[in-house]
Structure formats: C-alpha cells, structure tokens
Amino acid sequence: MASYSEIYKELKKNKNLTVRRNEPLSKYTTLRIGGPASLLVIPSNIQGILDMLSITSGVKKYIIGNGSNLLIPDSGIKGTVVRISGGINNFECDGRKIIVGSGMLLPTLIKKTIHLGLSGLEFAAGIPAAVGGATITNAGALGSEFGNLIDYIEIIDRSGTLTKISKRDLKFSYRKCSLKDCIVVSVRLKLKHKKPENIRKKIKDNLLWRRDCQPISVPSAGSVFKNPKDVPAGKLIDMAGLKGLRIGGAEISKKHGNFIINLGDAKESDVSSIIRKVRTVVKEKFRVNLELELIDSHQLTMLS
C-alpha cells in the first residue's frame, strides 16, 4: 500500500479535489473538537469522489458532512477523512421536486426553496447539517424528519459505482437511514408549493424557538442523546439535576439539558466523561438507558 505522502502527492494533482495533510478536524466540527486527520479530502464534484476512491484504494476512508453532530478524538483520525460539505452543491428544480447535491448546507437549501415558494423544510431551519449528513442521520425536529421528503438518493459505493436508490428501497427511522458503506452524492426531494411569506413566517417562528430553547451562540453538536419514548432526554437530564455539570472545558448547557457545549478549550475526553456521567445517573434515577444521537469516530461511515 502506498504511503500517505505518496497518496497526498497523487491527490494534490487532481483539480477536482482539495487536499490537506494532518489537518485539525476541530475546524470542521460544530463542537470545535478534534485532532488531525492523516489526510483531509474535499471533492468538488462527483468525478472528484470517483478519482479519490481510485487513488486511495485500500486506505481507510471516513465520510463526514458538515460535522454538526460529530465527536472526534483529540488524537484525530488515522486515515483519509472525506468531507462532502464544501463541494457537490448542485441544485435543480422541476416543479415541486428538487435535486440537491449532498454537500449543500441546509440553511443554503432552505433559502433557495423559500425563493421558489417550496415548503417542507421549515422544520430544518437552524440545523447546520449538509444534505448528505441530514440524509444519513434522518435529521429531524419539531415532529418532522428529512427522510419524509426524499424521493430518491444517488450514491457512490465503495467500488465506485454510481447508483440511484428509490425511497421504497430505503428504510428511515428515528435518526437513522438504512444506507451503509456508501457516499451520498445527491438527493431528490418532494416539496409543496406555498407562498414565500408564509414559509418565511414559519421559519422565523422555528428559529425563535431554537433561540429561546437551545444554546445556539456557543459551539455544540446539537442533541447528544436520542429522546426515549416517554420523556425527552433533556428533561430527564434536568430532573437528574445535571444541568450545568462541567468537566474540563465542556458543560451541560444550562439552557437545554441535552446539549453539551464547548466553553472554549473542551477536549473529547471532557465530553465523553460528561456522557458517561449522564448515562450512569439517569439509569440509576429513572431506569432509562440513554442512547447516543451524537456520532463518534467509531460510528462514521467508513469505506476501504
């Protein structure tokens, strides 16, 4: 197998790729935590992904979007991290249906759909994910989920084959999608026509709700735990008296118990310690096993 230096040199020659060595991943997560990746690759288009797969054959590749729900170790990731956000931003509209590249951020997509008078994405206002990440995690809020809007998904598998998968061949559940071992490159969504002013009003209301309920002005990774059936995770954490718990540079938000915030110098170990503490206390007090919504490096989509 070629060395990372050799692979780096080969990737750098490709005009469809942005490549960096030993790049701190803290720059690419909303929690602002994470050590260096051996290689960070940002494809600008589908051809870039295909070229990258060919050049890095046999090397571990970890796929990330905008890093909005990731906890990366301070030691970083040994391997190639492929960041889809930052490239693959194509957008097409055909009536109520849109095709959007997986690297486009949801805030950007929402602005485009408002202009076209297309409704359905209002629930996602304030979610800083890329379209690909929102697909893989079935991002949701306020009772709505991204998977409900999907018509089909276009993916590239580990062999470099480009495939279109219909909604009927996919399974979406709470913060999950059945897709595995692939890179999402585009998604077709079915939306509804509404007056732009009505869409803007709904989005404004949703953003105000987030501002009032969530710590949006400080680095976080969104909801840390999935909500159990009966009681939201944040309420359980609040009832357990854990709001404001601080370890190192990380703290459970005093505004929302299901958010862990970075006070400026938090480490992955600080966040992990808080997670273990929360799980232990909630289990002891309420007999509830909290399941992570936050994704760590072991859960990332990996291709080789």
Phi and psi at residue 173, in whole multiples of 5°? -140, -170
If you ran DSSP here, which 8-state letter would residue 44 be given?
Answer: S
Let me know if 92 is a catalytic residue.
no
The C-alpha atoms of residue 266 and residue 45 are separated, in whole angstroms, by 34
Phi and psi at residue 138, in whole multiples of 5°? 50, 60
- Residue pair 194/240 in contact by the 8 Å Cβ criterion: no
Q: State the catalytic residue, choosing from 145, 175, 220, 251.
A: 175
The C-alpha atoms of residue 268 and residue 264 are separated, in whole angstroms, by 12
Which amino acid is residue 232, in one-letter code?
A: P
Let me know if 251 is a catalytic residue.
no
Give the dihedral of Cα atoms 274, 173, 31, 25; nearest 10 deg. Answer: 120
Let me know if 175 is a catalytic residue.
yes
Q: State the catalytic residue, choosing from 68, 223, 253, 297.
A: 223
Phi and psi at residue 17, in whole multiples of 5°? -130, 140
CA distances (Å), origin 196, targets 115, 151, 188 = 7, 23, 21
The C-alpha atoms of residue 28 and residue 8 are separated, in whole angstroms, by 19
The C-alpha atoms of residue 251 and residue 220 are separated, in whole angstroms, by 10
Which amino acid is residue 138, in one-letter code?
A: N
Q: State the catalytic residue, choosing from 102, 122, 293, 297.
A: 293
The C-alpha atoms of residue 21 and residue 183 are separated, in whole angstroms, by 22
The C-alpha atoms of residue 224 and residue 71 are separated, in whole angstroms, by 10
Residues that are catalytic: 175, 223, 293
